[in-house]
Amino acid sequence: MTEYEAVIGIETHVELQTNSKMFCGCAVDFNAEANTVVCPVCLALPGALPVPNASAIDGILSIGAALSCELVEHSLFHRKNYFYPDLPKNYQISQYDVPLCADGHIDIVADGEPFRIGITRVHMEEDTGKSTHIGDDGRIRAASHSLLDFNRAGVPLVEIVTEPDIRTAEQARVYGAELQMIVRTLGVSDARLEEGSMRFDVNVSLRPVGQEEFGTRTEVKNVNSLRSMYRAIEFEIARQTEVLDSGGTIVQETRHWNEDSQRTTSMRSKEDSEDYRYFQEPDLLPLHIDAAWSARVYAAIPELPAIRRSRYLETGIDMVTAGVMVADAGLGELFDAAVASGADPKQAANWITGEVVANLRRTERQLADLPLSAEHLTQLDEMVSAGSLSATAAKDVLGGVMDGEGSPEQVAQSRDLLQISDTGALTTEVNTVLADNEDAVDKMRSGDMKPLGFLVGQVMKATGGKADPRMVSELIRNSVKE
């Protein structure tokens, strides 16, 4: 039986967060009443001329720069021609052979290995209107009629196209997650998959292992979650393998991922670029990105996820913990501030990705809603280091701080969680326990250290669990040596 290799490429559509649309002054407002945020330009009325949105161009260039692309000095707009009811012009203003950004890459770690995925191009598009199909399954084939809302028509989009470098569903999933973090870090989009502001078109083909020529590809359209993308790819690989093993041929087509059945189903034959009859947009001049514009874009790029992840790993934090704080900018900022104010990096990271994240999930609050500061984490770390608070009690204290009970010191006192760290007081308790357990002391003096845990436990019991066990252990060892 032939062994196949998957060849996967991903086209990602990201909705840019701008105040106005791509080619007109209409506000971007997804909560507005249907067909109220429209004008002659986005409704394609005769004589209406487009004007590019400079803010959207900046956003696209920043994504390209973050993906190590070349920022193309002279770029062109093109018309992508096709008919669909939610496309009022019957063409979409896009870019074809001269995009804004080209020839980049993104580095990921997937399946335990570092992996580089080439970025073919990053270019602008405008969104279509929204179709609502009234019928049993909400799809056009079973609809009795359809409703059209053109509020979304003309909203600026960026399309990021990879090279066909991806080989597994896991690589695709990690790529999608990394790209989402980059876009959010740049602040150009909220990239919410569940709301459609970021979505994937996934191209999948198979070829025999060792063969250079690509197989026939299928495209799975508008996948709106990382989990769905993973499962859609796995399904397509299995489906295409079965077709080829049975002697069949793969049809070049567009397919739909059905979340309920966990299957892809055929939608239509897959178009080639020739089918869209691209030609240069006659109503728009070529776009010139001069050196000064490029310099402004690069200067505005913040610390990217890969760099932040590497910086966190250098502090001794493990990959999973670092990943949690890279994925959530707020958590990362809290960590950075805590470390800057003197907290131990590992301890701060464990509290943030453990207790803080758990509290946010349980209470359904946002990080900004918590009465928790970086200084609180530093104070908590100092209390644990000084022996006035056990590691276990520190978690309870942190919970109290997040519940608004006060500073770590105030919470520890009100909950009676402070440890006895006074050497004189502990020495008295230790001497009492040693006097009551002479057999255990004799064993330790003869070289048998097994009773140490028992003796520490007796001191902890005598102090109501408030003694610092590390200090108790040290005092017992010193007393036995005397």
Report residue 65 as tokens.
Answer: 């720069």
The confidence score (pLDDT) of residue 270 equals 66
Helix (H, G, I), strand (E, B) or coil at 43: coil
The reported pLDDT for the residue numbered 138 is 63
pLDDT of residue 191: 95
301 within 8 A of 186, measured Cβ to Cβ: yes
Q: How many CB atoms are located within 10 Å of the residue 312 CB?
A: 24
Domain boundaries, the chain: 4-297, 303-414, 423-481
Q: What is the predicted pLDDT for the residue at 114?
A: 92
pLDDT along the chain (482 residues), means of 10: 93 97 95 96 95 97 98 96 92 95 96 93 95 75 84 96 98 98 96 93 96 95 95 97 95 93 86 85 96 96 96 95 94 97 97 97 95 97 89 93 96 87 78 87 84 86 79 84 72
- pLDDT at residue number 136: 67
Burial class of residue 227 in the structure, from the number of CB atoms within 10 Å of its CB (0-12 exposed, 13-18 middle, 19+ buried)? exposed
Give the pLDDT of residue 472: 83
pLDDT of residue 331: 97
- 423-481: CATH number: 1.10.10.410
Q: Which two tokens stand for residue 336?
A: 């950075």
